[in-house]
Amino acid sequence: MPNQGIFCLEGDWGDSLVERLSVRPGLDMLTTMRGDRLIHRNAATADEFEYYLRKWVTRRYDAFPLAYFSYHGERGKLHLGGDSLSLAEIAAMVPGRLANRVVYFGSCGTMAAPEEELRDFVETTGAHAVAGYTKLVDWAESAAFDFTLLPELLDSVDIRKLFARLCKRHPYFADGLGLRLATATWVSSTRRTTE
């Protein structure tokens, strides 16, 4: 379904001010090819993250049903510079506000959280689903997989079938990155979790 939108918040990938690494060029290419729209903002602190997240959940941005959080991470958390945000803290920023939306954590290990935490995130926010990785990911490989994963997350209704399809068609990425998806009632298997 074209003309949907991706809302991306991205953190800093290094300490240097001249660092240019970003998911933005790939997202520009993907959304241009599909005719979708893109909102991309850099949010390096928890306050900036919350500001843009709360803005995204307003009715004005209903046409942007997919959030892509591109950050460093670990089990159940995102790292934003000196700040860390847990899944529960992120959910508390937008309780019940993510109906018909999907959240993609493009970060290392965030989805290695216990199943209960993942279900709680989806239940608290009202999101349709949450997706991401259970292990340390190679930046270039996850960026390459974005070209398959993001359109699927935008277009798919049945998250279980989506997970099965992705694992069947793209086992190298699904296993290598530790792909995991969750809804309020279902959490996929852990595809090679973090050590």
For range 42-62, the mean pLDDT? 97
Fold of 5-182: Rossmann fold (3.40.50)
For range 34-44, the mean pLDDT? 96
Spans of all domains in the chain: 5-182
Q: What is the mean pLDDT of the chain?
A: 94
pLDDT at 113: 98
Q: Is the pLDDT of residue 192 over 70?
A: no
| Low-confidence winner among 22-26, 53-57, 124-128, 189-193 (lowest mean pLDDT) | 189-193
Q: pLDDT higher for 114 or 195?
A: 114
Nearest of 1, 63, 11 to residue 37 by alpha carbon = 63
Q: Is the pLDDT of residue 193 over 50?
A: no
The Cα-based distances of 79 to 2, 45, 88, 108, 109 in angstroms read 32, 9, 14, 10, 11
Query: What's the pLDDT tens digit per position in 133-182?
Result: 999 999 999 999 999 999 999 999 999 999 999 999 999 999 999 999 99
The CA distance from 130 to 119, in Å, is 9
For range 98-113, the mean pLDDT? 98
The CA distance from 173 to 59, in Å, is 34
Percent of the chain with pLDDT over 70: 96
For range 97-117, the mean pLDDT? 97
pLDDT at 195: 41
**What token pair was written down for 177?**
């990155």
The CA distance from 179 to 195, in Å, is 15
pLDDT at 2: 53
